[in-house]
């Protein structure tokens, strides 16, 4: 069995299985509460202790080092450029989880922003991390764990493995301030689907109301409004019960996704075809040249010449026609394409032609 046919048959088997009734999923796997989310933190700092792989004359590194030394009570003379080859200016990023409290520790990512070649072996000097409101929410410091490696030879040749200018510090920041969410006092809590769908949000509403009558109402295709009693203890228990409710989500919309770079095609189980006929075959045109050398007659004062001898032929293979009845399913489409001997690139062209003809009843996405 050709590999492509095996691949299509395997895809058909998997997609037909998806066409069966949807399995129940927990509410917590379909969405999340609007106020329960993390927040992004950023900071600008200095990594020191590098083995000559720092920024050297990068002006921002020198200015940042002046600020660090001033905080420590040591001032560099005016006009003096420290030219720090063992230091690098970096940007620090982190995610502050929901309900994070002062004293807890979070992971941070450190990225070089100047001309440093590597942050391997460096240590981050204490740096404040700011939120979008400009307030300090954490302080970062620690030794970097860098997964990349960079090596440079005297002749200018170099070898780089992964990215040596980005590192992480596990639990490298200490939370100094929490973010007030207010979930215990808000009059209405909102729960949002990861992907908007009117049928799914209606089923979630029905499941919540079956457990807590009159508590849920739909605001739009992605948002459910929950009227729950005030108080952190009471709401936490009710939210935990809501998250564990089982709901049958709506079947995914009919969609065909095409990766134009690799030729990969993914077809959802909901895809159907209107009546259509597809003809697919291959045509091979051969042009063969067989030049011959023609010699003149003896003592004929002629010249040696080349005589062209061309042979042109056309061979057409395949040429089968497949007819799709109304509402043809995914398995029938796959069987027909296998019968036609379609390759992955042929499959993309056939699907695009069906879409243009109005026979493909699905959204086609090219990535």
Element (H, E) at 246: strand 246-247
pLDDT bucket at 348, cuts 50 / 70 / 90: low
β-sheet bridge partners, residue 256: 267, 364
C-alpha–C-alpha distance, residues 61 and 103, integer Å:
30
Pair of tokens at residue 132: 């979008």
Instruction: Give per-residue pLDDT as tens, 216-234.
Output: 999 988 899 988 888 888 8
pLDDT bucket at 204, cuts 50 / 70 / 90: very high
pLDDT at 8: 38
pLDDT at 110 over 90: yes
Q: What percent of the chain has pLDDT over 90?
A: 17
The answer to whether 200 and 249 are in contact (CB under 8 A) is yes
The answer to whether 212 and 238 are in contact (CB under 8 A) is yes
Nearest to 140 by CA among 260, 44, 283: 44
DSSP 250-274: PPPPPEEEE-TTT--EEE-TT-EE-
Burial of 221 (0-12, 13-18, 19+ CB in 10 A): middle
Mean pLDDT (the chain) is: 75
pLDDT at 154: 60
Q: Tally Cβ neighbours within 10 Å of residue 149.
A: 13
C-alpha–C-alpha distance, residues 128 and 137, integer Å:
8
pLDDT at 96: 92
pLDDT bucket at 5, cuts 50 / 70 / 90: very low
C-alpha–C-alpha distance, residues 79 and 88, integer Å:
20
Instruction: Give per-residue pLDDT as tens, 64-107.
Output: 777 676 676 666 666 665 657 788 889 999 999 988 899 999 99
Q: Are strands 272-273 and 223-226 parallel, antiparallel or unpaired?
A: unpaired
Please indicate whether residue 196 or residue 311 has the higher confidence score (pLDDT).
196
Q: Tally Cβ neighbours within 10 Å of residue 8.
A: 22
Pair of tokens at residue 237: 């228990």
pLDDT at 342: 63
Least confident of 54-68, 131-145, 339-353: 339-353
Element (H, E) at 317: strand 310-324
């Amino acid at each position: 069995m050709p590999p492509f046919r095996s691949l299509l048959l395997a895809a058909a088997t998997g997609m037909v299985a998806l066409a069966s009734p949807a399995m129940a999923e927990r509410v917590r796997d379909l969405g999340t509460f609007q106020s329960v989310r993390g927040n992004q933190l950023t900071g600008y700092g200095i990594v020191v202790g590098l083995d000559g792989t720092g920024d050297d004359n990068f002006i921002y590194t020198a200015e940042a080092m002046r600020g660090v030394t001033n905080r420590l009570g040591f001032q560099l003379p005016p006009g003096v450029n420290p030219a720090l080859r063992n230091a690098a200016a970096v940007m620090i990023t982190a995610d502050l989880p929901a309900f994070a409290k002062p004293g807890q520790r979070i992971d941070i990512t450190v990225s070089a922003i100047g001309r440093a070649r590597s942050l391997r072996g460096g240590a981050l000097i204490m740096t404040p991390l700011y939120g979008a409101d400009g307030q300090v929410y954490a302080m970062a410091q620690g030794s970097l764990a860098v997964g990349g490696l960079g090596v440079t030879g005297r002749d200018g040749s170099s070898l780089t493995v992964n990215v040596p200018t980005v590192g992480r510090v596990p639990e490298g920041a200490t939370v100094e301030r929490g973010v007030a969410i207010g979930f215990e006092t808000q009059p209405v809590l909102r729960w949002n689907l990861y992907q908007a769908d009117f049928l799914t949000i209606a089923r979630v509403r029905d499941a919540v109301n079956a457990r807590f009558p009159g508590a849920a109402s739909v605001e739009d295709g992605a948002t459910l409004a929950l009227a729950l009693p005030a108080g952190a203890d009471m709401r936490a228990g009710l939210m935990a019960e809501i998250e564990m409710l089982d709901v049958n989500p709506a079947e995914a919309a009919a969609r065909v996704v095409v990766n134009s770079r690799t030729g990969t095609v993914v077809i959802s189980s909901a895809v159907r075809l209107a009546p259509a006929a597809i003809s697919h075959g291959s045509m091979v045109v051969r042009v063969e040249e067989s030049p011959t050398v023609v010699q003149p007659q003896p003592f004929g004062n002629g010249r040696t010449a080349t005589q062209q001898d061309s042979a042109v032929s056309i061979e057409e293979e395949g040429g089968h026609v497949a007819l799709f009845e109304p509402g043809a399913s995914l398995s029938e489409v796959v069987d027909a394409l296998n019968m036609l001997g379609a390759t992955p690139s042929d499959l993309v062209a056939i699907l695009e032609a069906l879409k243009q003809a109005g026979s493909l009843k699905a959204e086609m996405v090219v990535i």
